[in-house]
Amino acid sequence: MRPLHHPATADIELTAVLYALADPVRLTLVRGLSRDRPVSCIRVSEEKELGLPRATLSRHFDVLRSAGLVHTVKSGTQYLNTLRCDDLEQRFPGLLRAILFVETDPAAAAKGASRAPAGAARAAPQGAAKPAAASKRAAAAPRTGRSRP
């Protein structure tokens, strides 16, 4: 079996962390992990009622581990995971706390109830900012009168 790769604290990159947390399934998995006690991949999936195949869970945890979000140890036939809160707090102060405690329930957000600590970022409304790259490319493209194949 190949050894599990865990990046050193100094090697954790912000882009990798944000990429890993951009997937809703991985964000749910991270929110289900504990920083104090190791939790198995399957237990987190069952608690959050994700119903994902083991291969899919394995891939998601591989991305989280490669990004430096979780520390995984093998115990018998299980892989136990813990959040690397201390390492992430040292590398990017306040980032994990702000991401994990952003209110995602629209009904609770409308009432003004939030689990987020004071000063934490709020989630942007969906569709608030759409990339304009496609429209810029269309405007800059020369018009030749024939269509491209």
Say what the pTM is: 0.65
pLDDT greater than 60 at residue 82 = yes
Counting Cβ atoms within 10 Å, is residue 44 exposed (0-12), middle (13-18) or buried (19+)?
A: buried
pLDDT, tens only, 110-121 = 554 444 433 333
Scored b (16 or more CB within 10 A) or e, 56-71 reads ebeebbebbbbbbbbb
In whole angstroms, give the CA distance from residue 20 to residue 63: 6
